[in-house]
Amino acid sequence: THAFLARIKQHPALNAFITISEEHALVQAAAADQRLASGDATDLTGIPIAHKDIFCTLGIKTSCGSKMLDNFVAPYDASVVDKFNHAGAVTLGKLNMDEFAMGSSNETSFYGPARNPWNTDCVAGGSSGGSAVAVAARLAPAVTGTDTGGSIRQPAAFCGITGLKPTYGRVSRYGMIAYASSLDQGGPMARNAEDAALLLQTMAGFDSKDSTSVDQSVPDYSAGLNDSLQGLKIGLPKQFFSSQLDNNMAAAIQAAIAEYQKLGATVQEVDMPNLELAIPAYYVIASAECSSNLSRYDGVRFGYRCQNPADLTDLYTRSRGEAFGAEVKRRILMGTYALSAGYYDAYYLKAQQVRRLISDDFKRALSEVDVLMGPVTPGTAFKIGAKTSDPIQMYLEDIYTIAINLAGLPAMSIPAGFIAGLPVGLQVIGNYFSEAKLLNIGHRYQ
C-alpha cells in the first residue's frame, strides 16, 4: 500500500486519480495485516485496488467525473465496493472517468483527461480512462471499471491491459451511479486474465438490492484458466473485418487470432447483418435512459446547487446548467427529444426493435461458434483534443464494442501487441455467463 501510494504521487501528470484515499487505505492495510496474521485472509486481503469514481464509497468523495457531484460523499458503499472491503482489499482511491461515463476518451471529465502512459499526448480511452491508466502505469495492481458501450474494453485496449465486461446482471449495479441502466455493467480491469479472474470472483453474484442482478451461482473463475483450447470454434463477424478497418489494425488482430489457431482453435466467418445499426440504436437508447436517470440532479437534495436561486425553476435550471458539461447536456437533450410524445415510436421504439435484431444476430452466431473475435477499437489511442470538436467521430470509436452491450453479452479486451508503440486490444465475445471461458482464452494468450 505504501509503495503504490508513493508511486501514485510520483505520477500526478497522468491524472489517473480524482481522489487518493490515503488515510482510509492505511487503516484498511493495517486491518489486512491483522487478518493475514490471524489466518482468515482471502486472495485479496491486503491487495491495494482502486475504484472508478462511479462506485459510491462511504466517506470518500464520489464525483462520477462531474462538477455536479464534486461535493458528494455517499452515505453508503456500492455493493461492489462492499464486497472488496469484506474480502480485505485496500482502496487506494477513486479513478478518473468521463463525466457520468459519457465519452470514449476521458476528455469529458470535469477533472481533465487521464493521460495514456504509453504516450502522454494521447488519450487513455474512456470512460474508464483513469482505471486503465492506473493499471498500465502500475499505480494499482488491479481496479474496477464500468462498461455501458465499451468503457472497460476500449480504455483497456488503448492502455494495453485486460478488461472484462461481464454479462449484464452478473455484477450488482447497486451504488454504481446510473448512466443507461439497461446497458451499464461493472467489471474488472487488470494486468492479465488471471488477476481479472480474482477480481470478478469477488465482484460477481446475486444482489437483492439490484433487481436486474441475476440469481445464478458464481463459478470458480480461476479453475479453468489453463484449459486446452483445442477445438475452440472462433467466429469472425464479417462486418468487423470490412474495408473500413485500418490495415495495421486488421493485421494485428489477424496475428492474434493466428496464435489461437496454433493452440488448436478453428476459425470461420459469421454474418451479422444488423451490426451496423448498433451505434444509432445505442445513442438513442443510452441517451433516453440517461435523460431519465440524470433528472435526479436538481440541486435540491445533494450535489451542486447554484448561488442565490430566485425561485424553484431558477434553482433547477441554473444548478443543472452550471454543473453539467457539454456532452452530458447533449445526451440529455437527445434523450428527452427521443422520448417525447410524438417521437417515441419513431426513435425509442425503433431503437428497441433494432436492439432485438442485434441480439438475434449474436444468438445465431453464437449457436454456430463458441466465441467471436475482432478488434476492440478502429485504431490505437488518438491524440488528446483530436476528436473533441466532432461528437460523431467520437461516437464511432465504439463501433466494435457497443453491440455487445445492446445484447447484454460478456466480452473481454486482451492485450494483443502494438502498432507504432501504442497498444492494440483483441476483443473476445462469448455467450451469456461464459466469463470463465473468456478468461481461459485471455490467459492462454499470454
Cβ distance to ligand GLN smaller for residue 150 or 166:
150
Q: Among residues 147 and 370, whose Cβ is nearest to ligand GLN? A: 147
Residues that bind ligand GLN (CB under 6 A): 101-104, 127, 147-151, 179, 286, 398
Among 21, 105, 127, 413, the active-site one is 127
**Closer residue to ligand GLN, CB minimum distance, 271 or 390:** 390
Instruction: State how far the Cα of 228 lies from the Cα of 315, in Å rounded to an integer.
Output: 61
Q: Is 172 a catalytic residue?
A: no
Burial label for 85, CB within 10 Å (0-12, 13-18, 19+), is: middle
Shortest spacing between CB 5 and ligand GLN, in angstroms: 28
C-alpha cell at 421: 508503440
Helix residue ranges, H only, 2-128: 2-10, 22-38, 79-87
Beta bridge pairs of residue 374? 427
Residue number, 104 or 131, with CB nearest to ligand GLN: 104
* Selected catalytic residue, list 79, 151, 287, 291: 151
Between 82 and 147, name the residue whose CB sits nearer to ligand GLN: 147
Distance CA 49, CA 92 (A): 6
Work out the number of other CB atoms within 10 angstroms of the CB of residue 261: 13
Among candidate residues 52, 94, 165, 437, the one labeled active-site is 52
Contact 408, 356 (CB under 8 A): no
CA atoms within 13 A on the CB side of 129: 36
Q: Is 151 a catalytic residue?
A: yes
Burial level of 211, CB count in 10 A (0-12/13-18/19+)?
Answer: exposed
Report, in Å, the least distance between residue 99 CB and ligand GLN.
Answer: 10
Taking the complex as a whole, the smallest distance from the CB of residue 133 to ligand GLN amounts, in Å, to 16
Question: How far is residue 206's CA from residue 217's CA, in Å, rounded to a whole number?
Answer: 8
Our CB check for ligand GLN shows the closer of 148 and 172 to be 148
Q: Find, among 359, 338, 214, the residue nearest to 277 by Cα.
A: 359
Nearer to ligand GLN, 117 or 149 (CB): 149
Least distance to ligand GLN from the beta carbon of 382, Å? 14
In whole angstroms, how close is the CB of 108 to ligand GLN at the nearest point? 8
Active site includes 127? yes
CA distances from 341 to 280, 309, 329, 338 (A): 20, 31, 20, 9
Residue closer to ligand GLN by CB (options 251, 396) is 396
- For the chain, helix, strand, coil in percent to 5 are 40, 15, 40
DSSP string spanning 161-208? -EEEEPPTTSB--TTBPPSSTTT-EEEEEESSHHHHHHHHHHHBS--T
- The dihedrals phi and psi of 218, each to the nearest 5 degrees, come to -95, 120
Here the cell at position 273 is 447483418
CB of 356 to ligand GLN, least distance (A): 20
State the minimum distance, in angstroms, from the CB of residue 192 to ligand GLN. 22
Q: How far apart are CA 53 and CA 186, in angstroms?
A: 12
Residue nearest to ligand GLN (CB): 151
* Amino acid at residue number 358: I
**Omega before residue 217 within 30° of 0, cis:** no
CB of 402 to ligand GLN, least distance (A): 7
Which residues are catalytically annotated?
A: 52, 127, 151
